[in-house]
Structure 1
Amino acid sequence: MKPTESELEILQVLWTLGKASVRQVNDELSKVRDIGYTTTLKLLQIMFDKKLVSRTEEGRYHVYEAAVSEQATQQLLVDKFVDTAFRGSAMKLVMQALGNHQASQEELDAIKKLIASMEQQS
């Protein structure tokens, strides 16, 4: 299931911290935007229902953990983005990204290695 933008922000916090209470998640989110505790709590409850996070009780608190991996979520989002914005063409995405971004030599070398690896697999 594709997470919303707000859910993705929470997942990024959980991928970084591992496990976290609502307060810990809210404190991290508050560093970049104004968000209330009850909003964070409600989002985590919705994400639990959607099976994006799992939770355990530790005393009086619920502790949340991402139930989806960062890599799988990134792949889902990229696939959806390529399909909708670039009509399924990964080449159009790469050309757009490289045309609008000054890639460093390290990035270009990594791209070349990836292409070589993909060519060897086919």
Structure 2
Amino acid sequence: MTKSPAPPKPTAAELDLLQTLWPLGSATAKQVHQKMMQERPEVTYATVLRLMQIMHTKGILIRDESERSHVYAPAQARDALQTNLLKDLMQKAFAGSAKALVMTALKSGISKKERDEIEKLLKEGGDQ
């Protein structure tokens, strides 16, 4: 049985762009740039376009070239990518221990609202 290759791991800048693109579903570089400028007005269109092209080459984004302006979409759903990154972090930084990862996260400071949500999830048995 051959293992499928691990999906590419995005850099911090690529994750930032994905955080903008996921809610949009799919978008042109111009649309992503306009959305990113709301939080980071210094970001240039050329930077966004180049990053999206790199992400497409790496397999992080898929691209529809049927229109004049190419439309990009994430190659993985947010949940799938977050799960893969979490598993990788757990292996590398916490010797595979989910408990150690969670305890560290809880010690780093969470809000009352987050604590209430975690307690509710634990009471429900985590079946979500």
Partner of 2:36 in structure 1?
29
Partner of 1:120 in structure 2?
none
The AA in structure 2 aligned to 1:66 is P
Aligned-pair identity (%): 39
Question: Equivalent residue of 2:72, what SS?
Answer: strand
Partner of 1:108 in structure 2?
119
Equivalence map 1:60-99=2 (5 Å): 60-99=68-107
Question: What is the total number of aligned residue pairs between the two structures?
Answer: 116
In 2, the alpha carbon distance for the partners of 1:44 and 1:105 equals: 38
What RMSD, in angstroms, separates the aligned Cα atoms of the two structures?
1.8
Question: Equivalent residue of 1:104, what SS?
Answer: helix
TM-superposed CA distance for 1:100, in Å, is: 2.7
Q: Does 1:6 align with 2:17?
A: no
Q: Which moved more, 1:35-44 or 1:52-61?
A: 52-61
Q: What is the TM-score of this pair, normalised by structure 1? A: 0.83
TM-superposed CA distance for 1:7, in Å, is: 1.0
TM-superposed CA distance for 1:59, in Å, is: 4.1
TM-superposed CA distance for 1:69, in Å, is: 1.3
Q: What is the TM-score of this pair, normalised by structure 2? A: 0.80
- Greater per-residue strand proportion: 1
Question: Equivalent residue of 1:61, what SS?
Answer: coil
